[in-house]
Amino acid sequence: MAKPILLTVDDDADVVRSIERDLRSHYGAQYRVLASDSPEGALDLVNQLKLRSDSVALLLADQRMPRMDGVQFLQKAREIFPEAKRALLTAYADTNAAISAINEASISYFFLKPWDPPEEHLYPQLDDLLDDWQASYRPSFEGIRVLGTRWSPRSYELRDFLARNHVPYQWIDVELSANDAETKRLLDALGPEAANLPIVLFPDGTKLLETVPAEVAQKVGLQTRAQTSFYDLAIIGGGPAGLAAAVYGASEGLHTMIVECEAPGGQAGMSSRIENYLGFLRGSAAPTWLDAPWCKPGALEWNFCHRKRPSLSV
Protein backbone atom coordinates (compact mmCIF):
# COMPACT_ATOMS: atom_id res chain seq x y z
CA MET A 1 0.00 0.00 0.00
CA ALA A 2 1.33 3.44 -0.96
CA LYS A 3 2.26 5.76 1.88
CA PRO A 4 0.14 8.88 2.48
CA ILE A 5 1.80 12.13 1.46
CA LEU A 6 3.06 15.17 3.34
CA LEU A 7 3.36 18.12 0.94
CA THR A 8 5.22 21.31 1.82
CA VAL A 9 5.40 24.52 -0.24
CA ASP A 10 7.73 27.52 0.13
CA ASP A 11 9.30 29.84 -2.43
CA ASP A 12 12.52 29.99 -0.37
CA ALA A 13 14.73 27.08 -1.46
CA ASP A 14 16.59 26.97 1.85
CA VAL A 15 13.36 26.77 3.85
CA VAL A 16 12.02 24.05 1.54
CA ARG A 17 15.12 21.93 2.03
CA SER A 18 15.06 22.47 5.78
CA ILE A 19 11.40 21.56 6.34
CA GLU A 20 11.65 18.64 3.92
CA ARG A 21 14.67 17.30 5.81
CA ASP A 22 12.94 17.60 9.18
CA LEU A 23 9.72 15.99 7.95
CA ARG A 24 11.54 13.11 6.26
CA SER A 25 13.75 12.37 9.25
CA HIS A 26 10.77 12.07 11.61
CA TYR A 27 7.93 10.83 9.38
CA GLY A 28 9.74 9.13 6.47
CA ALA A 29 8.90 5.63 7.68
CA GLN A 30 5.13 6.25 7.55
CA TYR A 31 4.69 8.99 4.95
CA ARG A 32 6.09 10.17 1.64
CA VAL A 33 7.42 13.72 1.87
CA LEU A 34 7.10 15.92 -1.23
CA ALA A 35 8.14 19.55 -1.63
CA SER A 36 7.58 22.35 -4.11
CA ASP A 37 9.14 25.81 -4.43
CA SER A 38 6.05 27.45 -5.96
CA PRO A 39 2.31 27.34 -5.19
CA GLU A 40 1.45 26.90 -8.87
CA GLY A 41 3.73 23.90 -9.15
CA ALA A 42 2.31 22.51 -5.93
CA LEU A 43 -1.26 22.76 -7.27
CA ASP A 44 -0.21 20.89 -10.42
CA LEU A 45 1.34 18.24 -8.18
CA VAL A 46 -1.85 18.02 -6.11
CA ASN A 47 -3.87 17.41 -9.29
CA GLN A 48 -1.47 14.65 -10.34
CA LEU A 49 -1.76 13.01 -6.93
CA LYS A 50 -5.55 13.07 -7.29
CA LEU A 51 -5.38 11.33 -10.66
CA ARG A 52 -3.02 8.71 -9.20
CA SER A 53 -5.46 8.06 -6.33
CA ASP A 54 -2.82 8.97 -3.75
CA SER A 55 -3.78 10.13 -0.25
CA VAL A 56 -2.57 13.48 1.10
CA ALA A 57 -2.36 13.73 4.88
CA LEU A 58 -0.83 17.20 5.28
CA LEU A 59 -0.51 20.41 3.26
CA LEU A 60 2.08 22.75 4.80
CA ALA A 61 2.53 26.12 3.05
CA ASP A 62 4.45 29.33 3.67
CA GLN A 63 2.18 32.37 4.04
CA ARG A 64 4.25 34.89 2.07
CA MET A 65 4.77 33.66 -1.48
CA PRO A 66 4.64 35.61 -4.76
CA ARG A 67 1.51 35.46 -6.96
CA MET A 68 -0.35 33.28 -4.44
CA ASP A 69 -0.04 33.36 -0.67
CA GLY A 70 -0.26 30.33 1.58
CA VAL A 71 -3.91 30.81 2.50
CA GLN A 72 -4.96 31.02 -1.15
CA PHE A 73 -2.98 27.88 -1.96
CA LEU A 74 -4.51 25.93 0.91
CA GLN A 75 -8.02 27.04 -0.10
CA LYS A 76 -7.47 25.74 -3.66
CA ALA A 77 -5.84 22.52 -2.47
CA ARG A 78 -8.71 21.96 -0.05
CA GLU A 79 -11.10 21.66 -3.00
CA ILE A 80 -9.08 18.67 -4.24
CA PHE A 81 -8.17 17.02 -0.91
CA PRO A 82 -10.69 18.28 1.67
CA GLU A 83 -9.66 15.67 4.26
CA ALA A 84 -6.00 16.72 4.33
CA LYS A 85 -4.78 18.68 7.33
CA ARG A 86 -3.72 22.23 6.43
CA ALA A 87 -1.04 24.29 8.18
CA LEU A 88 0.80 27.58 7.60
CA LEU A 89 4.43 28.56 8.07
CA THR A 90 4.57 32.22 9.14
CA ALA A 91 6.96 34.81 10.45
CA TYR A 92 6.18 36.53 13.73
CA ALA A 93 4.83 39.61 11.92
CA ASP A 94 2.22 37.49 10.10
CA THR A 95 0.62 35.90 13.13
CA ASN A 96 -2.50 38.05 12.99
CA ALA A 97 -3.10 37.06 9.36
CA ALA A 98 -2.51 33.41 10.25
CA ILE A 99 -4.99 33.54 13.13
CA SER A 100 -7.70 35.05 10.92
CA ALA A 101 -6.94 32.44 8.21
CA ILE A 102 -7.76 29.64 10.65
CA ASN A 103 -11.41 30.67 10.40
CA GLU A 104 -11.43 31.78 6.75
CA ALA A 105 -9.69 28.75 5.22
CA SER A 106 -10.27 26.14 7.96
CA ILE A 107 -6.54 25.92 8.57
CA SER A 108 -5.66 23.44 11.29
CA TYR A 109 -2.54 25.10 12.70
CA PHE A 110 0.20 27.64 12.04
CA PHE A 111 3.92 27.36 12.80
CA LEU A 112 6.32 30.22 13.45
CA LYS A 113 9.63 30.36 11.59
CA PRO A 114 12.18 29.30 12.65
CA TRP A 115 10.82 26.13 14.24
CA ASP A 116 14.10 24.93 15.79
CA PRO A 117 14.28 22.69 17.61
CA PRO A 118 11.63 20.69 15.71
CA GLU A 119 11.27 18.30 18.66
CA GLU A 120 9.60 21.16 20.54
CA HIS A 121 8.07 23.45 17.93
CA LEU A 122 7.13 21.17 15.04
CA TYR A 123 6.80 17.44 15.73
CA PRO A 124 4.41 17.50 18.73
CA GLN A 125 1.85 19.62 16.89
CA LEU A 126 2.18 17.66 13.66
CA ASP A 127 1.82 14.40 15.60
CA ASP A 128 -1.56 15.59 16.88
CA LEU A 129 -2.70 16.66 13.41
CA LEU A 130 -1.64 13.42 11.76
CA ASP A 131 -3.16 11.28 14.51
CA ASP A 132 -6.44 13.09 13.95
CA TRP A 133 -6.16 12.52 10.20
CA GLN A 134 -5.32 8.83 10.64
CA ALA A 135 -8.45 8.32 12.77
CA SER A 136 -10.69 8.94 9.75
CA TYR A 137 -8.32 7.79 6.99
CA ARG A 138 -9.62 5.17 4.58
CA PRO A 139 -7.08 3.98 1.97
CA SER A 140 -8.16 4.72 -1.59
CA PHE A 141 -8.32 2.14 -4.36
CA GLU A 142 -4.85 1.73 -5.86
CA GLY A 143 -5.60 -0.17 -9.06
CA ILE A 144 -6.96 0.74 -12.48
CA ARG A 145 -9.96 3.08 -12.57
CA VAL A 146 -12.38 3.25 -15.49
CA LEU A 147 -14.44 6.41 -15.97
CA GLY A 148 -17.46 6.35 -18.24
CA THR A 149 -21.21 6.35 -18.44
CA ARG A 150 -23.38 3.43 -17.43
CA TRP A 151 -25.07 2.84 -20.79
CA SER A 152 -22.04 3.49 -23.01
CA PRO A 153 -21.18 0.44 -25.20
CA ARG A 154 -17.48 1.40 -25.19
CA SER A 155 -17.41 1.67 -21.40
CA TYR A 156 -19.13 -1.70 -21.07
CA GLU A 157 -16.64 -3.25 -23.50
CA LEU A 158 -13.70 -2.06 -21.39
CA ARG A 159 -15.25 -3.27 -18.15
CA ASP A 160 -16.07 -6.66 -19.67
CA PHE A 161 -12.54 -7.02 -21.05
CA LEU A 162 -10.87 -6.26 -17.71
CA ALA A 163 -13.24 -8.49 -15.75
CA ARG A 164 -12.84 -11.48 -18.07
CA ASN A 165 -9.05 -11.17 -17.93
CA HIS A 166 -9.11 -10.96 -14.10
CA VAL A 167 -7.63 -7.45 -14.03
CA PRO A 168 -8.89 -5.63 -10.88
CA TYR A 169 -10.41 -2.23 -11.58
CA GLN A 170 -12.74 0.36 -10.10
CA TRP A 171 -15.72 1.58 -12.09
CA ILE A 172 -16.61 5.29 -11.78
CA ASP A 173 -19.88 6.46 -13.33
CA VAL A 174 -19.34 10.13 -14.23
CA GLU A 175 -23.10 10.73 -14.40
CA LEU A 176 -23.17 10.42 -10.60
CA SER A 177 -20.79 13.35 -10.12
CA ALA A 178 -23.67 15.65 -9.11
CA ASN A 179 -24.31 13.45 -6.07
CA ASP A 180 -20.77 12.19 -5.42
CA ALA A 181 -18.28 14.83 -4.30
CA GLU A 182 -15.26 12.54 -4.81
CA THR A 183 -16.20 11.84 -8.44
CA LYS A 184 -16.68 15.56 -9.04
CA ARG A 185 -13.23 16.32 -7.62
CA LEU A 186 -11.69 13.68 -9.87
CA LEU A 187 -13.40 15.16 -12.95
CA ASP A 188 -12.23 18.64 -11.95
CA ALA A 189 -8.66 17.34 -11.71
CA LEU A 190 -8.96 15.93 -15.25
CA GLY A 191 -10.16 19.29 -16.58
CA PRO A 192 -11.17 19.36 -20.28
CA GLU A 193 -9.94 15.78 -20.73
CA ALA A 194 -12.92 14.58 -18.68
CA ALA A 195 -15.04 14.84 -21.84
CA ASN A 196 -12.98 12.18 -23.65
CA LEU A 197 -14.80 9.13 -22.28
CA PRO A 198 -14.15 6.35 -21.58
CA ILE A 199 -11.02 7.16 -19.60
CA VAL A 200 -8.73 4.62 -17.93
CA LEU A 201 -6.51 5.88 -15.09
CA PHE A 202 -3.50 3.84 -14.02
CA PRO A 203 -1.73 3.83 -10.62
CA ASP A 204 1.45 5.33 -12.14
CA GLY A 205 -0.45 8.49 -13.11
CA THR A 206 -0.80 7.74 -16.82
CA LYS A 207 -4.20 7.76 -18.51
CA LEU A 208 -5.82 6.61 -21.74
CA LEU A 209 -8.53 8.80 -23.26
CA GLU A 210 -11.32 7.39 -25.46
CA THR A 211 -9.47 4.13 -25.26
CA VAL A 212 -10.19 0.61 -26.53
CA PRO A 213 -9.36 -2.82 -25.03
CA ALA A 214 -6.28 -3.31 -27.24
CA GLU A 215 -4.59 -0.22 -25.77
CA VAL A 216 -5.49 -1.27 -22.24
CA ALA A 217 -4.23 -4.80 -22.89
CA GLN A 218 -0.85 -3.47 -23.94
CA LYS A 219 -0.65 -1.17 -20.93
CA VAL A 220 -1.45 -3.91 -18.37
CA GLY A 221 1.09 -6.30 -19.88
CA LEU A 222 -1.03 -8.60 -22.02
CA GLN A 223 0.75 -9.63 -25.21
CA THR A 224 -0.66 -7.88 -28.28
CA ARG A 225 2.04 -8.69 -30.86
CA ALA A 226 3.69 -11.90 -32.00
CA GLN A 227 7.13 -12.58 -30.55
CA THR A 228 8.58 -14.17 -33.69
CA SER A 229 7.79 -14.11 -37.41
CA PHE A 230 7.19 -17.88 -37.81
CA TYR A 231 4.92 -20.37 -36.02
CA ASP A 232 4.15 -24.00 -36.76
CA LEU A 233 0.55 -23.58 -35.65
CA ALA A 234 -1.63 -20.49 -35.25
CA ILE A 235 -5.01 -20.85 -33.56
CA ILE A 236 -7.55 -18.09 -34.18
CA GLY A 237 -9.85 -17.96 -31.17
CA GLY A 238 -9.12 -19.10 -27.63
CA GLY A 239 -12.43 -20.83 -26.91
CA PRO A 240 -12.79 -24.49 -25.88
CA ALA A 241 -11.91 -25.85 -29.33
CA GLY A 242 -9.02 -23.41 -29.82
CA LEU A 243 -7.60 -24.19 -26.40
CA ALA A 244 -7.78 -27.94 -26.99
CA ALA A 245 -6.10 -27.65 -30.40
CA ALA A 246 -3.36 -25.41 -29.03
CA VAL A 247 -2.64 -27.68 -26.06
CA TYR A 248 -2.38 -30.79 -28.22
CA GLY A 249 -0.30 -28.96 -30.84
CA ALA A 250 2.13 -27.69 -28.21
CA SER A 251 2.35 -31.15 -26.64
CA GLU A 252 3.58 -32.45 -30.00
CA GLY A 253 6.39 -29.90 -30.05
CA LEU A 254 4.77 -27.42 -32.43
CA HIS A 255 5.53 -23.72 -31.92
CA THR A 256 1.96 -22.64 -31.19
CA MET A 257 0.27 -19.25 -30.96
CA ILE A 258 -3.32 -18.37 -29.98
CA VAL A 259 -4.93 -15.16 -31.21
CA GLU A 260 -7.89 -14.14 -29.03
CA CYS A 261 -9.95 -10.96 -29.15
CA GLU A 262 -11.28 -10.95 -25.59
CA ALA A 263 -10.12 -13.48 -23.00
CA PRO A 264 -9.08 -17.14 -22.63
CA GLY A 265 -12.11 -19.37 -22.87
CA GLY A 266 -13.90 -17.28 -25.48
CA GLN A 267 -17.66 -17.52 -25.18
CA ALA A 268 -17.22 -20.45 -22.79
CA GLY A 269 -15.62 -18.02 -20.35
CA MET A 270 -19.10 -16.62 -19.71
CA SER A 271 -20.74 -20.01 -19.14
CA SER A 272 -21.76 -20.98 -15.63
CA ARG A 273 -20.32 -24.49 -15.95
CA ILE A 274 -18.67 -26.73 -18.55
CA GLU A 275 -18.70 -30.49 -18.02
CA ASN A 276 -16.03 -33.00 -19.03
CA TYR A 277 -13.49 -30.65 -20.55
CA LEU A 278 -9.75 -30.90 -21.04
CA GLY A 279 -7.94 -30.64 -17.71
CA PHE A 280 -11.08 -30.38 -15.51
CA LEU A 281 -12.10 -33.77 -14.20
CA ARG A 282 -15.23 -32.48 -12.46
CA GLY A 283 -16.17 -29.78 -14.91
CA SER A 284 -15.28 -26.13 -14.82
CA ALA A 285 -16.91 -22.82 -13.94
CA ALA A 286 -16.04 -19.83 -16.11
CA PRO A 287 -13.74 -18.03 -13.60
CA THR A 288 -11.40 -21.05 -13.44
CA TRP A 289 -10.35 -20.78 -17.08
CA LEU A 290 -7.50 -18.39 -16.30
CA ASP A 291 -6.23 -20.77 -13.60
CA ALA A 292 -5.72 -23.60 -16.05
CA PRO A 293 -2.06 -24.59 -16.74
CA TRP A 294 -2.24 -23.58 -20.42
CA CYS A 295 -3.35 -20.04 -19.52
CA LYS A 296 -0.27 -19.40 -17.41
CA PRO A 297 2.53 -17.18 -18.79
CA GLY A 298 4.96 -19.21 -20.85
CA ALA A 299 2.69 -22.21 -21.36
CA LEU A 300 1.41 -21.00 -24.73
CA GLU A 301 1.87 -17.74 -26.59
CA TRP A 302 -1.29 -15.67 -26.29
CA ASN A 303 -1.92 -12.62 -28.45
CA PHE A 304 -4.87 -10.34 -27.76
CA CYS A 305 -6.39 -8.36 -30.59
CA HIS A 306 -9.28 -5.90 -30.70
CA ARG A 307 -12.18 -6.12 -33.07
CA LYS A 308 -15.07 -3.74 -33.36
CA ARG A 309 -18.42 -5.23 -32.51
CA PRO A 310 -20.78 -5.19 -35.51
CA SER A 311 -23.49 -2.56 -35.28
CA LEU A 312 -27.07 -3.63 -35.88
CA SER A 313 -29.64 -1.40 -37.55
CA VAL A 314 -33.37 -2.00 -37.63
Q: In what order do the strands lie in the sheet with 207-209?
A: 169-173, 144-148, 199-201, 207-209
Query: Distance between CA 150 and CA 156 in Å, rounded?
Result: 8
Question: What gap in Å lies between CA 80 and CA 124, rounded to an integer?
Answer: 27
Share of the chain above pLDDT 70, in %: 81
Q: Which of 218, 265, 228 is nearest to 246 (CA)?
A: 265
**Residue 163 one-letter amino acid:** A
Tell me the percentage of the chain whose pLDDT exceeds 90: 48
Determine the average pLDDT of the residues in 188-202.
94
Q: Is the pLDDT of residue 227 over 50?
A: yes
pLDDT for the residue 214:
87
Quick: pLDDT tens for 85-118.
999 988 765 667 667 667 776 888 888 888 989 9
Taking residues 54-61, what's their average pLDDT? 95
pLDDT value for 312: 36
pLDDT band at 314 (very low <50, low <70, confident <90, very high): very low
- Predicted local confidence at residue 229, as pLDDT: 85
3-state helix, strand, coil in the chain (%, to 5): 40, 20, 40
Per-residue pLDDT at 311: 38
Give one DSSP letter per residue of 86-106, joined into a string. EEEEE-GGGHHHHHHHHHHS-
Angle between helices 181-190 and 39-51 (to 10 degrees): 120
Distance of alpha carbon 288 from alpha carbon 22, whole angstroms: 51
Per-residue confidence (pLDDT) for residue 63, from 0 to 100: 87
- pLDDT over 70 (residue 234): yes
